[in-house]
Amino acid sequence: MEVFVDTRMFVHTKTQTIYVLLDHGKLTDHRLWVQTTSCDDLAFFPESLDFGKIKRGAGPTAHMIVAVPGQPKLQVAGAKCDSKFIQVKVQELGRGTTRAVYQVSATVRADIPAGELHTEVELTTNNPAMPKLVVPLRVEIEP
C-alpha cells in the first residue's frame, strides 16, 4: 500500500486516519494513523526524483535542487538511498546570508532489474530540528 499526502495543503504537523478494507476470506476494517510534517522553509525543485520509464541498462541521472531559506548555517552532511540500485550524491551550490542551496543527484545503476521501484533518498543535516530530509524517488524499468 502507498499513501501520498499533499504537504502543500498545510504547514507543520498533521495526523490523518486512513481506513483500509482487507479481504482475506473475511472482510476486516483496519485503521492506520499517518503523521506528516510540512515545512514552509524548505523547497524541492522538482518535488521528487521521478525518472519515469527507462530502458534497463541505460543508467540515467536525475537532479533536484533543495533550497532552505532562512537557514544559512544548515549543512547537508550526506545522502543515501535504501536501494542498492540507486547511487546518490549531494553538492552544495550556494550559501548566502539567508539561505543554503544544494543539488541532489541520483543515478540508476545499469544492472537494476526490470519493474517499478518506489524508494526514498535521505539527506542528513546538521540541524537537530530537521535531522533528515526525505526525497521520494520513482523509476519504472523496461526490459
Q: What is the DSSP string of 80-127?
A: EES-TTEEEEEEEEEE-SSEEEEEEEEEE-TTPPSEEEEEEEEEEES-
Burial of residue 86, with CB atoms counted within 10 A of its CB: 0-12 exposed, 13-18 middle, 19 or more buried: buried
Reference 52, options 109, 135, 120, 108; nearest CA is 108
User: pLDDT > 90: what percent of the chain?
Assistant: 51
Confidence check: pLDDT of 124 > 90: yes
Question: pLDDT digits over 15-53, tens only?
Answer: 777 777 777 666 677 777 776 666 666 788 898 999 999
Whether residue 114 contacts residue 56, with contact meaning beta carbons closer than 8 Å, is answered with yes
The larger pLDDT score, comparing residue 133 to residue 31, is at 133
How is residue 129 written as a grid cell? 530540528
CA distances from 47 to 20, 82, 111, 113, 136 (A): 27, 19, 26, 25, 8
In this structure, how many other beta carbons lie within 10 angstroms of the beta carbon of residue 133? 22
Mean pLDDT (the chain, rounded): 85
The pLDDT assigned to 19 comes to 77
Q: What is the pLDDT of residues 77-89, one digit of tens each?
A: 999 999 999 999 9
pLDDT band at 111 (very low <50, low <70, confident <90, very high): very high
pLDDT in tens, 59-106: 999 999 998 888 888 899 999 999 999 999 999 999 888 888 999 999
Distance (Å, whole) CA 4 – CA 12: 16
